[in-house]
Amino acid sequence: MPQGINKKNTGTHTPLQKTLTGIGGFDDITDGGLPTARPTLVCGGAGSGKTLFSMEFIVRGATLFNEPGVFVTFEEKAEELASNVSSLGFDLNKLVATNKLRIDYVHIDRSEIDETGEYDLDGLFVRIGHAIDTIGAKRVVLDTIENLFLGLENKGILRAELRRLFQWLKDKKVTAVITGEKGEGTLTREGLEEYVSDCVILLDNRVVNQISTRRLRIIKYRGSVHGSNEYPFLIDEDGISVLPVTSLRLNAKASTERISTGVPGLDKMMDGKGIYKGSSMLISGTSGTGKTSIAASFATECCKRNERCIYFAFEESPEQITRNMQSIGMDMEKYVKKGLLKFQAARPTMYGLEMHLVVIYKLIKQFKPHCVVIDPITNLITVGSSSEIQSVLTRLIDFLQTQQTSAVFTALTPYNILKEQTDETISSLVDAWIQVRDIEMNGERNRALYIMKSRGMNHSNQVREFLISSRGLYLQDVYLGPEGVLTGSAREAHMLQKRTEEILQKHSLSKNEKAIERKNQELQLKIKGLNSEFDAIREELKNDFVEMQLKKDVAADNRIELTRLRENSTLTDSDSSTKNKK
C-alpha cells in the first residue's frame, strides 16, 4: 500500500472553511460555498444538471479563483464534455492548455474486463492523484462514480474502496464534488450518501402542468447553517443561477425621494410628486383601460430622467409595444437605442413561475435598472397556482425593494363579478394601487382612474377621467355634474350647457346694466328738471321780495313826500285841501 493513500486525516476543521463555487447565487444560500477539502455529493435524476453544476464548479474555480481543477468523468469523453459545455461559454480546451484543468475520462467496458481475486482501486487513486499533483489542483469532480458499479462485479470491494477514496480525497485537501444518479427511494442508486456525509445537494427537475422547473436543495451541510428550502435555478448561456428566494426580512430601506409616474395628472393626485423611489405601484383594471399605456409612460419618464428601465412584457412583443405607444406620442424606440430601456418579452408559459422570477432577478442584477415594469403580472397566473403567485410576488417585490428599484405592475381584472385574487394578494404588498376602469354611460365607454391606496402620502380621493390622446395621457380635472362625476360626452355636453348658460347670463347681465343706466339717466334728467323748477321759484320769490321792498321804500318816500306836502299846505291849507277834496 502506498504511503499517504490510506493515511487518516487527523487535522481539525474548525471553524469550517468554505470554498466559493462561483455559481451564481449558490454561494449565497450556502453562506460561502462548499466545504473546503471535503467531498460534496451532488445527486439528482437524469438531466437535472449534475454534470453542469460540477463542471461550473471546476471552471469557475479555475477562472475566478485561480484554483485548478480535475474533472474525472466516467460517462463522457473529454471532447464530448468540452463541446457540451462550450455553449455555456466554457472553453475547456484553453483551460487544459493552460494547466488550469485536467479532464480524465475513466472508461469502464465490462465486456473486456474479467475479475479474479482480490484487487483495489489504487489505479484510480493514482490517476486522480497524478492529475491533482500535475496541476496543483484544489478542486476535483467525480462524475459519475457510480458507473464503477456497472463495470465491476465485486460490490464489497467497491464499497470499501469508495469509502477509502473519499477519505483519501479529504487527505489530499481537495474540495471534491461527487455526482450520483438518483435512485428509487434513495438519493443515489448505490447509496453514496452513506460515504459522503459532509454536504449533500439534491438537484431536481420537476414538471408541473407541462412546465419544468429546476430546483436545488441542500439536504445536508455538516457544520454550517444553510437554507433548507428548495431553490429554483436556471441554466442558461451563463451557466447556473440559483435564486436566493427567502431573504424576506422586511428591512428594506425607505427612500423619501419621489419620482414621477409619467402621467402629470396622476402625480398631481399623489401630492403632486408621484410615487416614492423604490416603491411599487399596481395598476389594475379591465382590458383596454390603458394599463399598458400608463406603464409605458412610467418607463418612458424613467428614461427621460436618464435612468435605466427594464420592461418585462408578458403579453405583447417589444415591437408591438413601441409601435402602439408611438401612437400616443411616446417614443420608446429612442431609449431602447440609447440603451436606457430594455425589453424582456417572454410568453408566461415559456417556463415555470419560479423560472420567471429567476430570469427577472438575473436581469435586474445585470442591468441594474432604476425602474421596472411588469406587464401584466396577471399573465403569470396561467403558470402557477395562486399561492405560488403570492409567494413569487412577495419575493419579487421584496427583492425590488432591497434593490431600491421602483416598479410598476399591471394587473388585468376580469370582467366577471368574482373578486379577482391577484388584486387582493398583490395589493397588500404594493405601496400604491391605482384602478383604471370603464364607465359605461349614454352609449359610450370612458375611462376613469382612481387611487385605491398610496402609502405614506396625501392622495386625492377623487375619481378622475383618464384620457388617452395622440399627445399622451392626461387626467381630466374632476368634473362634477348634478349626478356626480361626468365623463366623456356627458361631460362635454354638460360643459357646453354650462357655457351656454354662462353666455346667456352674461347677456342678461348686460341688459340689466343698460336698464340701470337708463334709469340713472332718467333720474338725472328729473333732478335737472326739479332743480330748474326750484331755481324758477326761488327767482320768483326773490322778485316778490324786491318788489315788496321797493313798495315799502316807495311807500316810505311817499309818506315823507306827503308829510312834506302837508307841511306846505298848512300855509295854503284851503287851496290844497280843496284841491285834495276834488
Partner 1 sequence: MENDETWELRLYIAGQTPKSVTALRNLKKYCETHLQGKYHIEVIDLLVKPQLAEGDQIFAVPTLVRKVPQPIRKIIGDLSNEEKVLVGLNIVPLSKS
Q: Among residues 47, 89, 123, 456, which is the contact residue for partner 1, using CB under 8 A?
A: 123
**89-93: Cβ within 8 A, 24+ apart:** 89/237, 89/238, 89/239, 90/55, 90/56, 90/59, 90/239, 92/59
Question: Measured between alpha carbons, how far is 306 from 329 in angstroms, rounded to an integer?
Answer: 19
230 binds partner 1 (CB under 8 A): no
Q: Among residues 112, 184, 237, 567, which is the contact residue for partner 1, using CB under 8 A?
A: 112
Kindly indicate which of the ranges 101-109, 180-188, 431-439, 517-525 contains the residues binding partner 1, using the contact rule CB under 8 A: 101-109
Would you call 371 exposed, middle or buried from its count of C-beta atoms within 10 A (0-12, 13-18, 19+)? buried
Minimum CB–partner distance for residue 205 and partner 1 (Å): 30
What is the 3-class SS of 287-329, one letter each residue?
CCCCHHHHHHHHHHHHHHCCCCEEEEECCCCHHHHHHHHHCCC
Q: Report the DSSP pairing between strands 211-221 and 230-236.
A: antiparallel
Q: Apex CA 409: angle with CA 382 and CA 213, to 5°?
A: 40
Kindly indicate which of the ranges 93-101, 117-125, 456-464, 546-554 contains the residues binding partner 1, using the contact rule CB under 8 A: 117-125
Q: What three-state secondary structure class fits 378?
A: helix
127 binds partner 1 (CB under 8 A): yes
The CA-based dihedral angle spanning residues 504, 510, 514, 520, taken in that order and rounded to the nearest 10 degrees: 130
Q: Which is nearer to partner 1, 66 or 116 (CB)?
A: 116
Minimum CB–partner distance for residue 103 and partner 1 (Å): 10
135 binds partner 1 (CB under 8 A): no
Minimum CB–partner distance for residue 147 and partner 1 (Å): 10
47 binds partner 1 (CB under 8 A): no
Q: Among residues 53, 125, 168, 298, which is the contact residue for partner 1, using CB under 8 A?
A: 125
514 binds partner 1 (CB under 8 A): no
Q: Which is nearer to partner 1, 104 or 315 (CB)?
A: 104
Q: Among residues 87, 116, 570, 574, which is the contact residue for partner 1, using CB under 8 A?
A: 116
Using CB under 8 A as the criterion, what x/- string covers residues 143-172 for binding partner 1?
-----x---x--------------------
Kindly indicate which of the ranges 122-130, 248-256, 273-281, 342-350 contains the residues binding partner 1, using the contact rule CB under 8 A: 122-130
Size of the site for partner 1 (CB under 8 A): 27
77 binds partner 1 (CB under 8 A): no
Question: Measured between alpha carbons, how far is 440 from 336 in angstroms, rounded to an integer?
Answer: 37
Cβ contacts of 474 within 8 Å, gap of 6 or more: 263, 264, 265, 467
Question: Measured between alpha carbons, how far is 582 from 420 in angstroms, rounded to an integer?
Answer: 139
362 binds partner 1 (CB under 8 A): no
Whole-number CA gyration radius for the chain: 50
Q: Which is nearer to partner 1, 77 or 445 (CB)?
A: 77
Q: Apex CA 507: angle with CA 505 and CA 511, to 5°?
A: 115
Minimum CB–partner distance for residue 393 and partner 1 (Å): 51
122 binds partner 1 (CB under 8 A): yes
Q: Which amino acid makes up residue 514?
A: K
Question: Measured between alpha carbons, how far is 405 from 372 in angstroms, rounded to an integer?
Answer: 7
Q: Among residues 39, 129, 352, 369, which is the contact residue for partner 1, using CB under 8 A?
A: 129
Minimum CB–partner distance for residue 152 and partner 1 (Å): 7
Minimal CA–CA distance to 15: which of 221, 196, 225, 223? 223
Minimum CB–partner distance for residue 197 and partner 1 (Å): 24
Q: Which is nearer to partner 1, 111 or 469 (CB)?
A: 111
433 has which bridge partners? 282, 453
Q: How far, in whole angstroms, is CA 64 from its chain's centroid? A: 33
Q: Among residues 42, 52, 124, 373, which is the contact residue for partner 1, using CB under 8 A?
A: 124
Minimum CB–partner distance for residue 187 and partner 1 (Å): 24
Q: Which residues bind partner 1 (CB under 8 A)?
A: 1-2, 104, 106-109, 112-127, 129-130, 148, 152
